Amino acid sequence: MGPPGAGKGTQARRLVQHLGIAHLSTGDILRQAVREQTDAGRMAQRYMAGGQLVPSTIVVEMVDERLNQPDCAAGILLDGFPRSLGQAQALDGILARRGTALDAVLELQVSDAEVTRRLTLRGREDDRDRVIARRLESYQGEMRPLLDYYHARGLVETIDGSGSEDQVFDRIQAALERRGGAEERKRAW
Ligand code: AMP
């Protein structure tokens, strides 16, 4: 988890490569479904176009299906999911049925000032200060209950997201190592 501009995508790609696990991004899965114009894709389309969350029933089913693919057997990194308490509870059910559970929840922490600076550097048209502030606010509103939920179970590893990509990646690795190595996680799955 991390606000827009926290470097989540970059770190996710590095981590899955490093651990040899599958990258499960619900944003990517949804965009593919829209491109392919599947039933779910057509339903999801208008929510995504309006910048709203896609109904959880659609997203949860996609995640469950994706987990059947063989590359998930080595482990998964969830990216962009869960986005609500309902989705977190559905995820618990999905994982329990498969006899597994989350190892950790990684929270990339970057100050609002730094995120605003990074998003402004990207120079996207929609990234004016006001829009950035609104995106950060909606992120906080979305994530706070989820973080509370996972904090209560001692799953959250808060990572300082400032500094270089390498520095952040080193911190992520160190946090995961404190929780037991990747090999153990593979065996557990
Ligand atoms: P992302 O690439 O993670 O920013 O997701 C792009 C869009 O896909 C979001 O704005 C939502 O409309 C939708 N989306 C992605 N993940 C979820 C999710 N877990 N629950 C609901 N909608 C999602």
pLDDT tens digits, one per residue of 40-68: 999 999 999 988 999 999 999 999 999 99
- Whether 34 lines ligand 1, by a CB cut-off of 6 Å, is no
pLDDT band at 119 (very low <50, low <70, confident <90, very high): confident
Does the pTM surpass 0.85? The reply is: yes
pLDDT tens-digit map of 85-110? 999 999 999 999 999 999 999 999 99
* 51 CA closest ligand 1 atom index: 10
Name the residue of 13, 32, 48, 60 to mutate for ligand 1: max ligand atoms within 8 A of Cβ.
Answer: 48
Q: Please give the Cα distance from 22 to 35 (Å, whole number).
A: 21
pLDDT band at 75 (very low <50, low <70, confident <90, very high): very high
Taking residues 125-148, what's their average pLDDT? 84
pLDDT band at 184 (very low <50, low <70, confident <90, very high): low
Which protein residue has the closest C-alpha to ligand 1 atom 19? 81
Q: Around Cβ 8, how many Cβ atoms within 10 Å?
A: 20
Expressed in angstroms and rounded, the spacing between residue 122 Cα and the centre of ligand 1 is: 20
Query: Which pLDDT belongs to residue 187?
Result: 53
Look at residue 174 and tell me whether its pLDDT is greater than 90. Answer: yes
Query: Which pLDDT belongs to residue 16?
Result: 97
Q: Which of 124-154 are b and which e, b meaning 16 or more Cβ less than 10 Å from the residue's Cβ?
A: eeebeeeebeebbeebeeebeebbebbeeee
Taking residues 101-126, what's their average pLDDT? 86
Expressed in angstroms and rounded, the spacing between residue 164 Cα and the centre of ligand 1 is: 26
Expressed in angstroms and rounded, the spacing between residue 103 Cα and the centre of ligand 1 is: 22
Taking residues 130-147, what's their average pLDDT? 87
Q: Give me the DSSP letters along 109-159.
A: E--HHHHHHHHHHHT-TT--HHHHHHHHHHHHHHHHHHHHHHHTTT-EEEE
